[in-house]
Amino acid sequence: MDVSHLLDELNEAQREAVTTRSQHTLVLAGAGSGKTRVLIHRLAWLIQVEHVSPLSILAVTFTNKAAGEMRERAQDLLRVSARSMWIGTFHGIAHRILRMHWEEAGLPENFQILDSDDQHRILRRLIKEEGLDEAQWPARQAQWYINARKDEGQRPQSIEDMNNPMTAQWVRIYELYQAYCDRAGLVDFAELLLRAHELWLNDPALLDHYQRRLSHLLVDEFQDTNSIQYAWIRMLAGDNGSVLVVGDDDQSIYGWRGAQVENVRHFSRDFAGVQTIKLEQNYRSTGTILEAANAVIANNEERMGKKLWTADDKGAPIRLYAAFNEQDEARFVVEQVEQWLTKGRRADEVAIVYRTTAQSRLFEEYLLRASIAYRVYGGQRFFERAEIRDALAYLRLIQNPNDDAAMERVINTPARGIGQKTLSILRLQARESSLPLWQAAQECARQNLLPARALGAVNGFIQLVTVMRERMQNWTLGNQVQGLIEESQLVSHYEKEPTEKMESRIENLRELVNAAEAFVIPAEDEEAGMTDLQSFLSHAALEAGETQGEAWDDCVQLMTLHSAKGLEFPMVFIVGMEDGLFPHQRSVTEAGGRLEEERRLCYVGITRAREHLCISHAEVRRMFGSESHCRPSRFLDEIPSELIEEIRPRMQVQRPWSSPKLPDYRKSSLGSDQDWPFRLGESVSHKKFGLGTVISFEGSGEHARVQVNFNRAGAKWLVLAYANLTST
């Protein structure tokens, strides 16, 4: 039989993986090494060469998109329909099995699948019915706890509380939830895998049937498997099944959601006679990019080891830009994007990649300013994020208590016992008396139109907003936002969510403070008599209202490093390469291999680039409302210097507080030979803010800005052309 179409396109290592005669095979596939091709060709080889029945092969991956691609490519290669094949995600395959064996699994025939929102709503109700304070026992945390236990294969009765009352209470909530789901015939996503595993565990005859039927297992993205998924594979393989797994321990970056990189190392221990094949030839990136990636990941100790290489050219050096602050970093990146576009390249060939979602704000701002279309891949624009909208709603309410939409959004955020029933009473009062909701609430409070508990909660909310309004009248905009976040207890509210999501939300709130601190009221808003807060809220609303590009549009891609996995671009910017930001501070202080996972994340980021890679870091970054000097990321020290082309900023600004001697002002890019009109440390006067001291400069042309620390108003950035500052 002619099998050339299965092998001709493959390199030596790929052919070895496709044609292996080993019962169990571990394919260590580096980034861009063609792992999906290997899986598809292995599937075709089994069918066409080894004459394995298509119905005897189980090919499993992690996303519906990947499963769909696998099915389509298998169909094209085999030239037969792949519809009946067992190709899908872990959850999809488990769902298929449970539908076929619902009775044996102890489920009703018409069982329903719960999505994440439905699961959350049920838990909220159960926690309330149990008489628990949701502030202490938040539904989101309960959801995370239950799903994590299921991923570990644990039912409530198998969890030891170790006489810990907190653990005992979470177990109790798990018991209530499980009983509710069982009564209602509901199955959440984590339950699908656990229930299928228990089905086989409790029914040896059925397990034997599937072990004989699905005799060849192909597993993609093996490094992302968790405990229950690994147990699933081991059980289904049994003693006689053949297993081929494809993964990359260097790209295991989802430890925070249960993925266990150890599964890659344990595979050879738990399966007999495993053949390990390494795919090291890369078909994506230049030699320089691969050398950098290899050098960084080599510093991880617990890895199976491989070294990426390419037959293509070495390519351009990695460009490294040391910005003096985050504003300069954003401006530089956007300028580079503009240059890319002037060369006739496409915007969708560019990705700006960062460690935390909060970092997107400035790049969004500068891209909008440059009229460059962009898309936040797999996420929302900064001002559209739930936590930001919550904070802005509080600010709107402080600015205008009669803003009904703002009041409805935050009256019970964080939870303060004002449910839909109470809100309905307030709405009815507002309609009948033709009053805004705020005034209707005050009227209800005066007339005791609410039950005692609800009345206390509404009065508490009214007092909170009133006190914030009074306190913040004379505060700077940055202090107003910071004060609002603290007084509203939004941080405490979001701290109850799972760690990764919680950290992201809090970082976004802190970035909102930074945005307020750096906000310069436009001249036209100031002339119109608007306050800083009014202007800022208008600015936020307008930016949120700008619709971002669709997936198919020609626009720059903004994304986190986690979202970037599996993608590739001709031009990649990795921004914010500073210790504490990337690697994240949490990974530096916590044990358990977190720093190694951050390094794997860096490896993933570097290997997203095909042709050009540009890395940037800031010498000074505003974090949590104050400026901090930053140390370049330790990962930069791990890249060989000969691979890097350093680009210095046009202007270096020394902060007065960092040097005993104030430097002279420097030539700027305001104009070809134009000097800054003020010296650092010089006393100046502003019509509105009074006396202050010049502490920084940045920008060029009409965007040139000066930072002044005013005696009364605090530090403010002002557009130089409109500031009308005078020396004193």
Positions marked active-site: 35-36, 220-221, 251, 608
Rounded Cα distance, 530 and 537, in Å: 11
For 434-476, where are the alpha helices, taking DSSP H only? 437-446, 452-471
Which are the contacts of 639, defined by CB distance < 8 A and separation ≥ 6?
A: 292, 295, 296, 318
Q: How many residues does the chain have?
A: 728
User: Is the bond leading into 414 cis (omega within 30 degrees of zero)?
Assistant: yes
Query: Coil, strand or helix: which one is 644?
Result: strand
What is the token pair recorded at 496? Answer: 């109850």
Q: Supply the DSSP symbol for 416.
A: -
Asked if 332 contacts 628 with a C-beta cutoff of 8 angstroms, the reply is no
Asked if 6 contacts 49 with a C-beta cutoff of 8 angstroms, the reply is yes
Asked if 323 contacts 646 with a C-beta cutoff of 8 angstroms, the reply is no
| Other Cβ atoms closer than 10 A to 120 | 16
For residue 605, report the phi and psi dihedrals to the nearest 5 degrees.
Answer: -60, -45
Give Rg (Cα) of the chain.
Answer: 29
CA distance to 12, 15, 492, 502, 697, per residue, from 8 (Å)? 10, 9, 59, 49, 60
Rounded Cα distance, 526 and 530, in Å: 6
Rounded Cα distance, 424 and 540, in Å: 30
- Of 247, 225, 249, the C-alpha closest to 305 is 249
Which are the contacts of 107, defined by CB distance < 8 A and separation ≥ 6?
A: 98, 185, 187, 195
* Crossing angle for the helix pair 139-151 and 116-129, to the nearest 10 degrees: 120
Q: Supply the DSSP symbol for 676.
A: P
DSSP-assigned letters across all residues of 111-169 = -EE--HHHHHHHHHHHHHHTT--TTTS-HHHHHHHHHHHHHTT--GGG---TT-HHHHH
Amino acid found at 514: N
What per-residue string of b and e applies to 469-506 under the rule 16 or more CB within 10 Å gives b?
A: eeebeebbbbbbbbbbbebbebbebbebbbeeebbbbb
Rounded Cα distance, 28 and 19, in Å: 16
User: How many helices (H) does the chain have, and how many strands (E)?
Assistant: 30, 22
What is the token pair recorded at 364? Answer: 């969004």
Asked if 450 contacts 421 with a C-beta cutoff of 8 angstroms, the reply is no
Q: How far apart are the first and last CA of the chain?
A: 91
Rounded Cα distance, 156 and 170, in Å: 9
| Other Cβ atoms closer than 10 A to 373 | 16
For 49-115, where are the alpha helices, taking DSSP H only? 64-78, 90-100
- Of 548, 614, 558, the C-alpha closest to 340 is 614
Which are the contacts of 455, defined by CB distance < 8 A and separation ≥ 6?
A: 444, 445, 448
